Amino acid sequence: MSAKDLAADRAAALKLTPVSRETAARLDAFVELLMKWQRAVQLVSTPSLSQLWTRHIADSLQLFDLAPYAKVWADLGSGGGFPGLVIAIALKDRAGAKVHLIESDQRKSAFLREAARALELPAMIHVKRIETVTPDALPGLEVVTARALAPLSELLNLASPLLQNGAIALFMKGANLDNELTAATKSWNIRSTTVPSKTDAEGRILLVDQVFKKN
């Protein structure tokens, strides 16, 4: 991937999801760090590196627009930091902000820790399986995110304990969302809306503001 291609992808991403100059500079530093670590730890798929800014960064930033006033977020299965670290970058200058990144993979968690430290982000890394994280560990939680993590029914099993005190969920989904919703509603009562993705013609974001298991 040439520097020219990366610059063009960056410009396209920031046109889709504009940010301040300070946030853009932090994103540049994040990309530089990710590219270094990518040589040893696969943080994103190799084919997607050519569109790192649009496929991963802008894709993550669009969530910020759906909960613009939220300060406390939790990202389930953070992987290479999408969307969790990107949200933390966007929130860095907001008083009281905190993003909890939950990732059980030790090597990916090491990257998340280093990025949070190097960029001085309001992020806390939980090296745990998602089902072991309790609401008490995430005080003041307002938004729960997940990207390419699991089918919706499984995702609700993981996330629902964290959504019982007023937090909303923003789940990033693809073309199969309708089928996943149909399957999930057999076991769950879900109040939700869908928002088209800005970065993927087939992608949608499922906003869940109420969910509970059927008897």
Decide if pLDDT at 107 tops 80: yes
Comparing CA positions, the residue from 147, 140, 190 lying closest to residue 166 is 140
- Which residues have C-beta within 8 Å of that of residue 164, sequence separation ≥ 6? 135
Quote the domain boundaries for residue 57. Answer: 3-213
**Region of poorest pLDDT, from 40-49, 166-175, 180-189:** 40-49
- What band does 89 get if pLDDT is binned at 50, 70 and 90? very high
pLDDT of residue 1: 59
pLDDT of residue 214: 84
Nearest-angstrom CA–CA distance, 143 and 152: 17
Q: What is the CB neighbour count within 10 angstroms for residue 93?
A: 11
* CATH code where residue 149 lies: 3.40.50.150
Q: Report how far apart, in Å, the C-alpha atoms of 93 and of each of 5, 65, 86, 90, 131 are.
A: 30, 16, 13, 8, 30
Contact 53, 6 (CB under 8 A): yes
- Average pLDDT, stretch 71-96? 96
pTM of the entire predicted model? 0.95
Per-residue pLDDT of 39-61, as tens digits, reads 999 898 888 888 899 999 999 99
pLDDT of residue 188: 95
Q: Into how many domains does the chain fold?
A: 1
